[in-house]
Amino acid sequence: MARGFEPAYVQLGTDELKRRVAEAYARLEACDLCPRECGVNRRESARGAGCHTGERALVSSAGPHFGEEAPLVGRGGSGTIFFTWCNLACQYCQNADISQLGHGQEVEPEELAQLMLSVQAQGCHNVNLVSPSHVVPQILAALLIATEAGLRLPLVYNTGGYDSLKTLALLDGVVDIYMPDMKYAQPEPALRYSKVQHYPQVNQAAVQEMHRQVGDLVLDDRGVAQRGLLVRHLVLPGDLAGTAEIVRFLREKISPHTYINVMDQYRPCYRAHELPPLNRRIMAEEYARAAQLAQGADLRLDERPSRLRGF
Binding residues for ligand SF4, rule: CB under 6 A, are: 31-34, 36-38, 40, 42, 49-51, 87, 134
Closest by CA to 177, choosing from 74, 249, 25, 294, is 74
State the nearest-atom distance from the C-beta of 136 to ligand SF4, in Å: 8
Closest CA to 163 of 185, 139, 179: 179
Kindly tell me which of 37 and 274 has the beta carbon lying closer to ligand SF4.
Answer: 37
The least CB distance from residue 214 to ligand SF4, in Å, is 22
Helix (H, G, I), strand (E, B) or coil at 50: coil
- Least CB distance from residue 28 to ligand SF4, whole Å? 8
Q: Could you tell me the smallest distance in angstroms from the CB atom of residue 19 to ligand SF4?
A: 20
DSSP string, 81-133: EEESS-S---TT-TTHHHHTT--SEEE-HHHHHHHHHHHHHTT-S-EEEES-G
- To the nearest 10 degrees (0 to 180), the angle between helices 199-214 and 187-194 is 100
Nearer to ligand SF4, 29 or 245 (CB): 29
State in angstroms the smallest separation of the CB of 124 from ligand SF4.
Answer: 27
Query: Is residue 154 within 8 Å of residue 119, measured between CB atoms?
Result: no
Q: Are 263 and 304 in contact (CB under 8 A)?
A: no
Q: What are phi and psi of 221, to 5 degrees?
A: -70, -5
